[in-house]
Amino acid sequence: MRIGVCIKQVPDTDAHPRIADSGDHIDDDDLSWVISSCDLCALEEALLLVEAVEEEEGGIDRPELVVFSLGPARVEEALRKALALGVDRAVHLEDAAFRGGDAMADGRALAAAVDREGCDLVLAGAQSDDLGQAATPAVIAGTLGRPYAWLVIAVELDAASRSVRAVRELEGGMNEVLRLELPAVLAVQAGINKPRFASLRGTLQARRKPLEKVDCAMLGVEPGQVGKAGARIETMAVRVPPTGGGGLRIAGDAAEAAAELLAHLEREALL
């Protein structure tokens, strides 16, 4: 059994990203990069699945855990972090041809990578903190023709029947319980677990764990199918959204602002 986790390195959203002078992307300088929050939950869920097998069966048939990420050299840091958390090995999709891809292009490349490793179960975050398109895991599943579920909040592995039980979030406070045959792809919702921190021992071990770089040729994908050439969308401009609603900003210290707000609410007959 092999479990793959696909992660994306994104700009830290707690920082205020600056728009580049060209106006069509975020300025890369002095950005700090982190693993997207849903992807951290997917990593944690995979680690928990492996630990559940270890506890039940005394470590026999322990699934191997492989982490995948597509991006430039900086992505290695995210992969090393995943290794420090307990992942067995990492695959870095690094090729100039991957640059400028959209979810379709990146999903195809990642699909080839998880297929090459023969992953029985692939986990990924439901949506990234930066673009939030919620599409890449669906493209991986679609490219490989595998069962898929999005917004998964609980996962149980049933190795004997080669299936997985997943709970999917629906709108309006309902959940749906699903059974998917392996191999399958699951996109994990944020906040379903508390991602662990790397231990010092884990960080030291991560340096010696295998991290393989793969390019288009190794994955057997056509350069025209990935990166900018394979992308079906192009970002033309990025800007700060106009503040709508014509809302009133109330100034002053806390006591003054509170008094003024209450006066407005009283006038609107809300108190």
Question: What is d(CA 261, CA 246) in angstroms, rounded to the nearest whole number?
Answer: 16
| Residues in region 6-65 near another protein by CB under 8 A | 11, 13, 16-17, 19, 26
Q: At what angle do helices 37-57 and 75-85 cross, to 10 degrees?
A: 30
Which is nearer to another protein, 58 or 145 (by Cβ)?
Answer: 145
Which is nearer to another protein, 220 or 246 (by Cβ)?
Answer: 246
Question: What is the per-residue binding string for another protein in 73-102, x denoting contact by CB under 8 A?
Answer: -----------------------------x
With contacts defined by CB under 8 A, name the span among 59-67, 79-87, 187-195, 204-212 that binds another protein.
187-195
Does position 142 interact with another protein (CB under 8 A)? The reply is: yes
Using the structure block, give the residue that is written with the tokens 């490219």.
143
Which is nearer to another protein, 62 or 165 (by Cβ)?
Answer: 165
Using the structure block, give the residue that is written with the tokens 């630990």.
51
Minimum separation from the CB atom of position 9 to another protein (A): 14
Question: What is d(CA 157, CA 161) in angstroms, rounded to the nearest whole number?
Answer: 9
| Residues in region 200-259 near another protein by CB under 8 A | 231-245, 247-251, 253-255, 257-259
With contacts defined by CB under 8 A, name the span among 50-58, 59-67, 90-98, 125-133 that binds another protein.
125-133
The sign of the torsion formed by the CA atoms of 220, 234, 69, 207 equals positive
Does position 69 interact with another protein (CB under 8 A)? The reply is: no
**Which one-letter amino acid corresponds to residue 194?**
K
CB 170 within 8 A of CB 158: no
- Which residues lie closer than 8 Å to 244 by C-beta, 6 or more apart? none
* Number of residues near another protein (by CB under 8 A): 80
Which is nearer to another protein, 202 or 223 (by Cβ)?
Answer: 223
Minimum separation from the CB atom of position 254 to another protein (A): 4
Minimum separation from the CB atom of position 90 to another protein (A): 25
Q: Is the peptide bond before 195 cis (omega within 30 degrees of 0)?
A: no
Q: Please report the beta strands in 18-147, taking only residues with DSSP state E, as ranges in sequence order.
A: 33-35, 64-70, 89-93, 121-125
